[in-house]
Amino acid sequence: MVRTKFAAAAAATALALSLAACGGSSDDTAAPSAPMTTAAAPSSAAPMAGTGTQFGPGCAAVPTDPANPGSFDAMAKVPVASAAAGNPLLSTLVGAVKQANLVDSLNNTKDVTVFAPTNDAFGKIPKADLDKVLADPKALAAVLTYHVVSGKLSPSELAGTHKTQQGSDLMVTGSGTSFTVNGNAMVVCGNVQTANATVYIVDTVLMPKS
């Protein structure tokens, strides 16, 4: 008798679960709150499983309200140059990217990693030098494309030598949530997701060896 009852209970539980699962024929997992770019084309859907979340002390400076275009939520839904444009911490970089005509290239490229220097990082460069680079589109494009690496690098893939879009390599050392690029640029906020790129915000502008 007892056995019968437990069999019935097991059957009931299994049924409850199977009923629930029957409704779950989901093939689209994008968040429903973002206007127009929610269930985007398969190529640019929401961040893939297993990418984890952003880390680092600099992340605290990023707005938390999802309605704010500079927030992580908002950045995850638009391509990288548009995402950066919403973030006041990256306004110098965004201006430079526009100056170098790199907005579309950054937005249109599938799966890249971008090292994004903060405004403070640009502030470390002597003004005369910065102005000189900003005034020379080719030099500026070389510096900026040196911050772009093919493929979305997860934190576990970050350490190592990577070939940049500029052509020469950069080197990342560190592990866990602490990384340094080329020995002097600290990742202050890492693994920020945008629709087409993983972003690591750094505190120093990276310079290709000329």
Partner 1 sequence: MSTVESRRRAGLSGLAGLLTAAAGIAVAELLAALTDPAAGPAVAVGGVLVDAAPTPVKEFAVRTFGTADKPVLLGGIAVALAAVAVLVGLLAARRRWFGPGGAALFAIAGAAAAMSRPAAGPAAALPSLLGGAVTGIVLWTLHRPAPRPEGFDRRAFLRAAALVAVAGGAAVVTRRVRGGAATRDREAVRLPAPADPAPPLPAGQDPGFVTANRDFYRVDTALTVPRVDLGAWRLRIHGRVERPRTFTFAELLRRPLVERHITLNCVSNEVGGPYIGTARWLGVPLAPLLREAGIDPGADQVLARSVDGMSIGTPLGTVLDTPDVLLCVGMNGEPLPLEHGFPVRMLTPGVYGYAGACKWLTELELTTFGAVDAYWVARGWAPRGPVKTASRIDRPGAFGRVRAGSVPVAGVAWAQGRGIAAVEVQVDAEPWRRAELLPVPSDVTWVQWRLTWAATPGPHTLRVRAADGTGAVQPERRATPFPDGATGWHTVTVTVDG
In the complex with partner 1, which residue's Cβ is closer, 111 or 120? Answer: 111
Report the nearest approach of partner 1 to the CB of residue 45 (Å). 9
Give min distance, CB of 63 to partner 1, in A: 13
Q: What secondary structure, in 3-state letters, does the chain show?
A: CHHHHHHHHHHHHHHHHHHHHHCCCCCCCCCCCCCCCCCCCHHHCCCCCCCCCCECHHHHHCCCCCCCCCCHHHHCCCCHHHHHHCCHHHHHHHHHHHHCCCHHHHHHCCCEEEEEECHHHHHCCCHHHHHHHHCCHHHHHHHHHCCEEECCCCHHHHCEEEEECCCCEEEEEEECCEEEECCCEEEEEEEEECCCEEEEEECCCCCCCC
Say how far apart CA 42 and CA 144 lie, in whole Å: 29
Residue (94 or 186) nearer to partner 1, CB: 94
* Nearest residue (CB) to partner 1, 49 versus 128: 49
Strands 112-117, 197-202: pairing is: parallel
The minimum distance between CB 177 and partner 1, in angstroms, equals 17
Q: On the CB side of 48, how many CA atoms lie within 13 Å of its CA?
A: 12
We find the least distance from the C-beta atom of residue 128 to partner 1, in angstroms, to be 24
**Looking at beta carbons only, is 27 or 129 nearer to partner 1?**
27
- Closest CB to partner 1 among 123 and 137? 137
What's the min distance (Å) between Cβ of 78 and partner 1?
Answer: 8
Whose Cβ is closer to partner 1: residue 38's or residue 180's? 38
CB of 154 to partner 1, least distance (A): 11
